[in-house]
């Protein structure tokens, strides 16, 4: 039987012309930030790193760059297929002179497949495409198989944060993470998911409030 590639979990790759400065960074800065093709140990990318973090779908890169600036000892790897977002992230990285960020301009699932077991200390999945139509739910990045892969990649005690302002996607993600015994939800009361975590960084995209509910934050620990 012929193997089929996974369904795309993202929409258009580009919506507008990339600004000249950002286009130049795509040519000069991005090649040196891309993770190597094929299986690799992320520790080799920054041997001095005290931890390895992954952001799946970093949008315009505001959160990723800000976290990298606050945690210079951590290696932060981001994956984003949307080219305008990648270009924006490169601008943030360049302006802040960040050396602890690596960027895959493609599908995060390709990156995850190349990482070894228990290689990540932290994962962020913040405001992913909700694919609101029922027939498109299968395209959501959070599925039973991706949750299982995240469980494989996170170290025991590692942290994962999912955030969304789409009620159905929040319910969807919570059910899938709770169904996997590798994850424990850390919320003890409603404030645990209604209030932004102390270390959360709000982005301009989040502030647009494009969903149908106030942002919900689900924090999990790898058991």
Which residues are part of the catalytic machinery? 129
3-class secondary-structure state, position 124: strand
Is residue 175 within 8 A of residue 137, CB to CB? The reply is: no
How many CB atoms are closer than 10 A to CB 138? Answer: 11
Write down the residue that tokens 């913040």 correspond to.
126
Query: What's the CA gap between 145 and 161, in Å, rounded?
Result: 17
Query: What's the CA gap between 124 and 141, in Å, rounded?
Result: 12
3-class secondary-structure state, position 220: strand
Query: What's the CA gap between 55 and 64, in Å, rounded?
Result: 7
With b meaning 16 or more CB within 10 Å and e meaning fewer, what string describes 70-97? ebeebbbbbbbbbbbbbbbbbbbbbeee
CA 111 and chain centroid, separation: 11
CA dihedral 58, 100, 184, 169 (to 10 degrees): 0
């Amino acid at each position: 039987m012929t193997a089929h590639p996974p369904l795309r979990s993202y929409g258009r790759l580009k919506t507008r012309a990339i600004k000249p400065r950002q286009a130049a960074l795509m040519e000069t800065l991005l090649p040196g930030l891309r993770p190597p093709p094929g299986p690799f140990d992320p520790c080799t990318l920054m041997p001095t790193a005290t931890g390895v973090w992954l952001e799946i779908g970093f949008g315009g890169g505001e959160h990723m760059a800000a976290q990298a600036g606050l945690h210079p000892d951590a290696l932060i790897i981001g994956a984003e297929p949307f080219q305008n977002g990648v270009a924006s992230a490169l601008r943030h990285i360049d302006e802040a002179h960040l050396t602890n960020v690596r960027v895959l301009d493609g599908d995060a699932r390709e990156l995850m497949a190349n990482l070894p077991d228990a290689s990540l200390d932290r994962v962020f999945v913040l405001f992913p495409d909700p694919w609101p139509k029922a027939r498109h739910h299968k395209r959501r990045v959070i599925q039973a198989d991706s949750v299982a892969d995240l469980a494989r990649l996170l170290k025991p005690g590692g942290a994962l944060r999912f955030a969304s302002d789409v009620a159905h996607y929040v319910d969807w993600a919570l059910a899938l993470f709770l169904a996997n015994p590798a994850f424990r939800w850390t919320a003890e009361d409603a404030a645990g998911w209604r209030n932004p975590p102390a270390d959360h960084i709000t982005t301009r995209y989040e502030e647009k409030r494009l969903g149908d509910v106030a942002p919900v934050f689900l924090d999990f620990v790898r058991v």
